[in-house]
């Protein structure tokens, strides 16, 4: 038994620790570092909860009445103190040894102070001086205690260091930060408040620690009692505030608990001392109410509002977030910091148990919750769906809890079926979404036909979806309704749904609808409700015989809901747009007799019916386009039936210009008016067609106009395959123009508003493709350019700016400039685009001499073309050869500065453009080769020359002979230097060296007569 003077053997504990430190000073460093983790505030927010855990451990070890805990924060002249007094098992010598060991708890299967001592060590985050006092029982006198003191520790170590220089060095290196918890002292003034067994008193280090403890005590809530069921009540006393009393927690929370014994396999990877704790427990708690604070409890305190912290308790709060709307307390394994749950088999098994217990909590809600819960402002109220997690988890453990809870909830019968009241699991349930799903009358009407129907409140749809309830909109339910033939029954349904028609118009489109032919179809959209004119025509011509299967609503089922649900009042345009009418007219579906005809018009009855519909459509909507398929309507021509678009109206403009098309049978032209025949595609004048949603690339087999596929390939080369170009309009029948009618065709294109736009409108990429800034010619321009041999010289411009271009065709005479430009007329070679250049080089003259003015214009144009990044492949190119321009095969030509013309045939361009022009024509380039100079002497460049040519070299080389590649030359320039044998050559050499070739004649004039300098400079003014 411990002696009375030192009941806890503190002297022996101190001696053992000091001996260890003296023998191995590094052990002091290890202990100090470990305690420093706590002393620096890492555990400051855990002090209150760890002291509560100690109290719960003491109550559990006592095995009697539930424990009580008192927190008292006092301030005064001597500083602030925090007292934590608890009932239960008193402090023992083993307990003191555990406190002083930091990592060895006195409890194995249970105990008083912390897990492995880490819990009690949290006090070092707020205190350097503390005592623990105890007595055998809460009513007994004679308390004894133990103290832990940083000051006392420093004194002992100072004396111990006198005999151990190494220990002294280690102490000095700590600068006063020493492990106070390793050296316990006897507390001579031990005291425990009446009614309690053990008391921990902390002398708080300073204002920051005092503020932290005041806040922690203020925030202490029901969560501590729920997490530590061994505690029945907690009293909080803070100087200057009314006491608070936490008790009767089960009256404010709906609690579900589960417990059991662990399989030892699950503990295999846990620390040795933890493997003996084979019991597990899980508690979920949901607040019943959130009342305002009211007087109650001993001491006149206030009942604590029922709250939870949003973290996992194991059993004290951890740093693991829990976003489920209830408080979780579980015997989850923790890492050494006691802030995080340790991963492993044990955690996985307990998470599964937590999910099952959570589902039991939901079942408790649905099985008749207390009245106060039903009226509560709890996050869940009485609705079990509120417990279904829907948000994103806040961490791995939270995600695992979500998954386990969902798995258990999905298997729990927690939903009530409409009509029967039976309980259903989520897998057996389905619910109607939207406001109509909250209409009891609608649900009652649907429930006999729809099994498993449950009502889900509008604010719980996301939970129901996550749980696995089949959430379906009105359209889905209507699609599952059995089809019935009685129109009156459906009319009753339409009436019931009428109040929701405006809101659920699309959903009602799935309504079953009876038709006049006895069928019942699903969906009102597209059902035809004929207007008066169409109805009369239908009856007069018995159109139903020609187009069986058209969807006409049964008159007895007519109801305003059908119109709102997508049924439409049809006119002739709408009927002609029906695929069934198109198929019947083009022979794809049975219609009227193919042998029947309309009087002398020689057309089948079904075609006559279509023409009658077209005539009505033209009267109903003058100027509106009819469906494009009518252009394929078979009509009689001279040699049999042809598509309407391949026939011309007798006596029309088209009949004189489009000689590749046949004339329509005059009897048909007499039977139906010209407006109707034009509307179905018969050609009378110039026709434009609009091709929707054009994509550059391969064309469909059915080309809207001749050559459309080649044009799309052209667009793909311009914009890239797959570029979306939108709707494009083209002039049709260009392949049918008579050879002698091009002037009339082009005149009509220029005058007709639609055709002119089809010609002049550039094509631009809308999405996809390489670049939005690129443009391409319209189909009409592309076709006509090919037909007219573009590019060609503008008929109203001189040939000097367009050498080697063909003359304008006679057919374009008199056209305005915009049309001429679109057709490929060129005023200047600079106007050529990439396609124009490709056509242009193909028309260059063959090998032989060409006029020098034409060559000069072409050389300049090639420089401009090279700036556009084009790539051309001409067969022959123009070169300068001894003062003569001639075409030579492309393989014999090179590109270089003008000086190279003295040496070999060269395509002359400015020195800075040589590489680009060579790349443009895929030719070799020659550069600035140094000459072979004989008798060369450096001569200063005249100041007059420098005045007119600032970039000229300060000196030049005067030579008696000058050769390049073995050829005698009069001048040369390379690397900024100039060589010359003559005055004329000098002027060119200096201009070339200065990069100002155009100034050569001015330089020559100054060299010849320096006295003219002022005159020549004056002439340059304004340039």
Residue 376 falls in which region: left (phi positive, over 0), alpha (psi -120 to 50) or beta? beta
3-state secondary structure of 895: strand
* Helices 93-101 + 10-23 axis angle, to 10: 30
- Min mean pLDDT across 206-210, 527-531, 778-782 is at 527-531
Q: Is the pLDDT of residue 118 over 80?
A: no
C-alpha distance from residue 843 to each of 526, 791, 878, 909 (Å): 58, 10, 13, 22
Query: What is the C-alpha to C-alpha distance for residues 857 and 465, in angstroms, rounded to an integer?
Result: 76
* Burial call 675-686: b when 16+ CB within 10 Å, e when fewer: ebbbbbbbbbeb
Residues paired with residue 684 on neighbouring β-strands, in sequence order = none
What is the average per-residue pLDDT within 258-262? 90
CATH topology of domain 10-219: Heat Shock Protein 90 (3.30.565)
Query: Between residues 795 and 489, which one has the greater pLDDT?
Result: 795
Q: Are 658 and 649 in contact (CB under 8 A)?
A: no
Share of the chain above pLDDT 90, in %: 41
Question: What local confidence, expressed as pLDDT, does residue 379 receive?
Answer: 46
CA distances, 176 to each of 153, 180, 204, 207, 209 (Å): 10, 11, 18, 20, 19
Mean pLDDT along residues 223-235:
91
Q: Which long-range contacts (CB under 8 A, 24 or more apart) does 1017-1022 make?
A: 1017/947, 1017/948, 1020/948
pLDDT at residue 297, rounded to an integer: 40
| Beta carbons within 10 angstroms of residue 756's beta carbon | 21
The average pLDDT across 274-303 equals: 64
> Could you tell me the pLDDT band of residue 274, with boundaries at 50, 70 and 90?
confident
Q: What is the pLDDT of residue 352?
A: 94
Strands 763-764 and 775-776: antiparallel
Predicted pLDDT of residue 587: 80
Rounded to whole angstroms, how far apart are CA atoms 732 and 745?
Answer: 11
> What's the pLDDT tens digit per position in 966-1022?
899 999 999 889 999 999 999 999 998 888 888 888 898 989 988 888 888 888 776
Q: What is the pLDDT of residues 659-679, one digit of tens each?
A: 889 999 999 999 999 999 999
- Of the pLDDT bands very low, low, confident and very high (cuts 50, 70, 90), residue 251 is confident
Counting other chains too, the contacts that 376-382 makes at CB distance below 8 Å and 24 or more residues apart are 376/287, 376/288, 376/289, 376/290, 377/289, 377/290, 378/286, 378/287, 378/288, 378/289, 378/290, 379/286, 379/287, 379/325, 380/286, 380/325, 380/326
d(CA 93, CA 547): 104
Geometric angle at alpha carbon 280, from 277 and 283, rounded to 5°: 140
List strand residue ranges (DSSP E) for 396-481, in order: 415-416, 423-424, 430-432, 470-472
Per-residue pLDDT of 762-791, as tens digits, reads: 999 886 555 567 888 999 999 999 899 889
CB 331 within 8 A of CB 280: yes
This prediction has a pTM of: 0.51
Mean pLDDT of 419-423: 87
Mean pLDDT in residue range 592-597: 43
Burial call 717-744: b when 16+ CB within 10 Å, e when fewer: ebbbeebebeebbbbbbbebbeeebbbe
How confident is residue 38, by pLDDT bands cut at 50, 70 and 90? low
Classify the C-alpha dihedral 991-997-1003-1005 as positive or negative.
positive
Examine the pLDDT at 680 and tell me if it is beyond 90.
yes
Would you say the C-alpha torsion 169, 175, 176, 178 has a positive or negative sign?
A: negative
Helical (H) or strand (E) element with 155: helix 150-162
pLDDT given at position 940: 93
Q: Any residues with CB less than 8 A from the CB of 457 and at least 6 apart, and which?
A: 383, 385, 438
Q: What percent of the chain has pLDDT over 70?
A: 89
Q: Which of 531, 529, 524 is nearest to 507 (CA)?
A: 524
Confidence grade of residue 615 (pLDDT, cut at 50, 70, 90) = very high
pLDDT (0 to 100) of residue 285: 92
The Cα–Cα gap between 672 and 667 comes to 9
Q: For residues 494 and 512, what is the distance between their CA atoms, to the nearest angstrom? A: 10
What integer is the mean pLDDT of 127-147?
85
pLDDT in tens, 725-768: 999 999 999 999 999 999 999 999 999 999 999 999 999 988 65
Cis peptide before 984 (omega within 30 of 0): no
pLDDT of residue 114: 33
Indicate the pairing of strand 415-416 with strand 763-764: unpaired
The answer, yes or no, to whether residue 683 has pLDDT greater than 90, is yes
- For the segment 91-104, the average pLDDT, to the nearest whole number, is 81
Summarize pLDDT for 887-924 with one digit per residue, the tens: 999 888 999 998 898 989 999 998 888 999 999 898 99
pLDDT at 103 > cutoff 50: yes
Domain map (residue ranges) of the chain: 10-219, 250-410, 501-570, 605-787, 930-1023
- Mean pLDDT over 290-318 rounds to 56
Using CA atoms, how far apart are residues 149 and 941, in angstroms rounded to an integer? Answer: 98
Helix and strand element counts for the chain (H, E): 38, 44
How confident is the prediction for the chain on average, in pLDDT?
84
Which segment of 143-147, 335-339, 377-381 scores lowest on mean pLDDT? 377-381
Question: Over the Cα atoms of the chain, what is R_g?
Answer: 50
Report the pLDDT averaged over residues 805-820: 90
Confidence band of 492 (pLDDT split at 50, 70, 90)? confident
- Alpha carbon separation from 111 to 53, 55, 316, 784, 791 (Å, rounded): 10, 10, 15, 100, 102
Q: What's the pLDDT at 367?
A: 54
Element of type H or E holding 802: none
CB 852 within 8 A of CB 885: yes
Instruction: Name the burial class of residue 268, with classes exposed (0-12), middle (13-18) and buried (19+) by CB atoms within 10 angstroms of its CB.
Output: exposed
Contact 198, 134 (CB under 8 A): yes
Between 662 and 596, the higher pLDDT residue:
662
pLDDT digits (tens, 9 = 90+) for 358-410: 999 988 876 544 434 434 444 445 688 989 998 899 999 999 999 999 999 99
């Amino acid at each position: 038994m411990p002696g009375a003077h030192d009941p806890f053997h503190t002297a022996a504990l101190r001696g053992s620790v000091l001996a260890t430190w003296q023998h191995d000073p590094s052990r002091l460093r290890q202990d100090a570092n470990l305690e420093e983790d706590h002393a620096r505030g890492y555990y400051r927010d855990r002090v209150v909860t760890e002291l509560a855990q100690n109290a719960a451990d003491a109550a559990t070890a006592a095995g009697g009445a539930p424990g009580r805990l008192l927190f008292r924060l006092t301030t005064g002249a001597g500083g602030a103190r925090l007292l934590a007094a608890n009932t239960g098992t008193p402090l023992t010598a083993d307990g003191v040894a555990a406190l002083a060991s930091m990592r060895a708890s006195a409890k194995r299967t249970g105990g008083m102070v912390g897990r492995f001592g880490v819990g009690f060590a949290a006090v070092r985050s707020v205190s350097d001086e503390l005592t623990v006092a105890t007595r055998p029982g809460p009513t007994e006198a004679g308390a004894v205690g133990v103290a832990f003191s940083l000051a006392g520790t420093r004194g002992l170590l100072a004396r111990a260091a006198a005999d151990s220089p190494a220990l002294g060095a280690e102490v000095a290196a700590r600068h006063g930060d020493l492990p106070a918890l390793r050296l316990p002292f006897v507390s001579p003034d031990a005291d425990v408040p009446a009614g309690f067994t053990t008391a921990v008193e902390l002398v708080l280090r300073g204002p920051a620690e005092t503020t932290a403890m005041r806040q922690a005590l203020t925030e202490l809530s029901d969560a501590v009692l729920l997490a530590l069921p061994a505690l029945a009540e907690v009293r909080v006393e803070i100087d200057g505030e009314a006491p608070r009393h936490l008790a009767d927690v089960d009256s404010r929370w709906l609690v579900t608990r589960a417990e059991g014994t662990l399989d030892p396999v699950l503990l295999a990877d846990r620390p040795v001392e933890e493997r003996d704790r084979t019991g597990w427990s899980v508690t979920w708690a949901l607040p019943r109410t959130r009342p305002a604070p009211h007087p109650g409890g001993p001491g006149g305190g206030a009942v604590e509002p029922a709250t939870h912290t949003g973290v996992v308790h194991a059993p004290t709060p951890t740093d693991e977030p829990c976003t489920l709307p209830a408080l979780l307390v579980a015997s989850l394994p923790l890492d050494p910091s006691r802030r995080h749950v340790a991963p492993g088999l044990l955690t996985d098994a307990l998470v599964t148990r937590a999910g099952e217990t959570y589902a039991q909590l939901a079942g408790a809600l649905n099985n008749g919750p207390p009245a106060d819960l039903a009226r509560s402002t709890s996050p869940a109220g009485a609705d079990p769906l509120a417990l279904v997690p829907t948000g994103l988890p806040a961490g791995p453990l939270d995600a695992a809890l979500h998954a386990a809870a969902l798995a258990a909830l999905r298997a729990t019968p927690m939903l009530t079926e409409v009509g029967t009241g039976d309980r259903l699991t989520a897998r057996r349930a389905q619910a109607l979404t939207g406001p109509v799903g909250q209409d009891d009358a609608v649900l009652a009407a649907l429930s006999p036909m729809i099994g498993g129907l449950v009502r889900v409140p509008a604010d719980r749809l996301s939970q129901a979806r996550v749980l696995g309830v089949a959430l379906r909109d009105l359209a889905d339910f209507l699609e599952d309704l059995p089809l019935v033939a009685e129109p009156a029954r459906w009319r009753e349904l339409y009436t019931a749904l009428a109040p929701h028609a405006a809101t659920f118009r699309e959903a009602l489109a799935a309504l079953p609808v009876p038709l006049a032919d006895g069928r019942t179809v699903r969906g009102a959209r597209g059902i035809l409700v004929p207007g008066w004119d169409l109805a009369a025509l239908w009856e007069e011509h018995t159109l139903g015989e020609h187009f069986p299967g058209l969807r006409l609503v049964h008159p007895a089922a007519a109801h305003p809901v059908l119109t709102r649900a997508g049924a439409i009042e049809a006119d002739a345009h709408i009927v002609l747009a029906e695929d069934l009418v198109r198929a019947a007219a083009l022979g794809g579906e049975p219609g009227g007799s193919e042998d029947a005809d309309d009087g002398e018009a020689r057309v089948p009855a079904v075609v006559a019916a279509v023409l009658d519909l077209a005539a009505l459509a033209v009267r109903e909507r003058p100027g509106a386009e009819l469906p494009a398929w009518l252009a394929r309507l078979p009509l009689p021509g001279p040699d049999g039936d042809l598509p309407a678009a391949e026939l011309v109206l007798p006596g029309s403009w088209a009949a004189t210009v489009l000689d590749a098309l046949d004339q329509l049978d005059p009897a048909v032209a007499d039977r139906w008016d010209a407006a109707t025949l034009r509307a179905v595609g018969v050609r009378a004048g110039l026709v434009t067609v609009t091709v929707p949603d054009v994509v550059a690339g391969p064309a469909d087999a059915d080309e809207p106009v001749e050559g459309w596929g080649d044009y799309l390939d052209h667009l793909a080369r311009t914009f890239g395959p797959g570029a979306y170009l939108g709707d494009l309009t083209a002039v049709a029948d260009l392949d049918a123009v008579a050879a002698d009618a091009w002037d009339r065709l082009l005149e009509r294109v220029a005058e007709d508003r639609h055709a002119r736009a089809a010609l002049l409108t550039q094509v631009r990429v809308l999405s996809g493709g390489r670049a939005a800034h690129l443009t391409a010619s319209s189909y009409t321009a592309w076709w006509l350019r090919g037909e007219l041999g573009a590019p060609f010289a503008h008929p109203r411009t001189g040939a000097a700016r367009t050498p080697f271009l063909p003359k304008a065709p006679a057919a374009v005479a008199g056209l305005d400039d915009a049309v001429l430009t679109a057709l490929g007329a060129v005023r200047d070679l600079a106007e050529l685009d990439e396609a124009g250049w490709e056509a242009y080089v193909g028309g260059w003259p063959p090998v032989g001499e060409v006029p020098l003015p034409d060559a000069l214009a072409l050389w300049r144009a090639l420089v401009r073309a090279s700036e556009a990044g084009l790539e051309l492949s001409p067969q022959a190119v123009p070169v300068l050869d001894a003062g003569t321009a001639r075409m030579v095969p492309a393989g014999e030509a090179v590109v270089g500065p003008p000086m190279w013309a003295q040496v070999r045939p060269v395509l002359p361009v400015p020195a800075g453009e040589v590489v680009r022009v060579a790349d443009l024509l895929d030719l070799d380039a020659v550069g600035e080769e140094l000459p072979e100079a004989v008798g060369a002497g450096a001569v200063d460049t005249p100041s007059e020359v420098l005045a007119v040519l600032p970039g000229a070299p300060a000196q030049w080389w005067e030579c008696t002979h000058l050769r390049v590649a073995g050829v005698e030359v009069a001048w040369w320039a390379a690397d900024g230097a100039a060589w010359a044998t003559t005055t004329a050559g000098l002027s060119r050499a200096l201009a070339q060296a200065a990069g100002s070739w155009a100034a050569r004649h001015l330089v020559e004039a100054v060299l010849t007569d320096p006295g003219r300098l002022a005159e020549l400079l004056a002439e340059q003014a304004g340039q």
